[in-house]
Structure 1
Amino acid sequence: MKATQPIATALAGRRGFPLWAVVHHRGRKSGTDYATPVAIVPTMSPTDVLIGLPWGRDTNWARNVVAATSADVTWKGATHSTVSPRIIGPTEAAALARPFVRFIVKRMPAAIVLHLPQN
């Protein structure tokens, strides 16, 4: 993680790197603003953003997003406001994911799904 973080931080959210995004959130206890690079899991729905949680549901940034009930996600060169974040198990995450990545998502202990509201 430490070896790839500078690369992920530099490329996350850019138009040419759709796998990586940046989640902008606020610490639930500290109130500090954070920008966390993450890998986006392709979904079947254009209104769902799915992010695997390979270290489990107690990942701090995910808990911050759920506590705030929203987050901004910079992805594909644009910043999107998301709402209704939920931490879900691997079975539900795999059902949301595109078929070619389901086998990976099923092996993660959890994922977070965020919703892009319709305009």
Structure 2
Amino acid sequence: MSDPPRKHGPPRLAVRVTEPVGRALAGRRWFPLWAVVHHRGRRSGTPYATPVAVVPTADRDAILIGLPWGADTNWALNIVAAGGATLRWRGGDVGATNPRIVDADEAAGLAKASFRPVVRRMPAAIVLRRVRPV
């Protein structure tokens, strides 16, 4: 039985196949390109944990996450509505605040040079500022 077509977002089969791998690797110290974003639904308040790919940036305090399915990705909108999120990244929890959804050109300008061609192909990205412990 096949999944019904979706208006937005990744194909369900792709999610079903890749999500277990993403969840197993994301947030691990030895796998720095993937993190798990902990956020709450902006309407429901339901807690979510979403595996994401973190794009390396030149600015150590900037966290850049591509949005290959567009700016209306639910988890990204949840983070913007909440004003931030917590990421399980590189084996620890990282607070992130000041979320902004940006276009591909601005995102590419923040990414390290070797990642710019990939980031430019995405319709949008979300940028957050790392919260440094005092």
TM-score bin, normalised by smaller chain: over 0.9
In structure 1, what residue type is equivalent to 2:107?
A: A
Q: Deviations over 1:40-92 (max 9, x none)?
A: 10000110110000000000000000000010011000101111000000000
| Higher RCO (C-alpha under 8 Å, 6+ residues apart) | 1
Counterpart in 2 of 1:7?
21
Counterpart in 2 of 1:49?
63
Counterpart in 1 of 2:104?
90
Give the ranges of 4+ consecutive aligned residues of structure 1 lying more than 2 Å apart after TM superposition: none
Counterpart in 2 of 1:68?
82
In structure 2, what residue type is equivalent to 1:43?
A: T
Q: 1:117: how far off?
A: 2.7
Name the Cα RMSD after superposition. 0.7
Q: 1:11: how far off?
A: 1.2
TM-score by length of 1: 0.98
Q: Secondary structure at the match of 1:2?
A: helix
Q: Which structure has the greater CA radius of gyration?
A: 2
Matched, 1:115 2:133: no
Matched, 1:104 2:118: yes
Q: For structure 2, which runs of at least 5 residues remain unmatched after alignment?
A: 1-14
Q: For structure 1, which runs of at least 5 residues remain unmatched after alignment?
A: none
What percent identity do the matched residue pairs reach? 58
Aligned length: 119
Q: 1:10: how far off?
A: 1.1
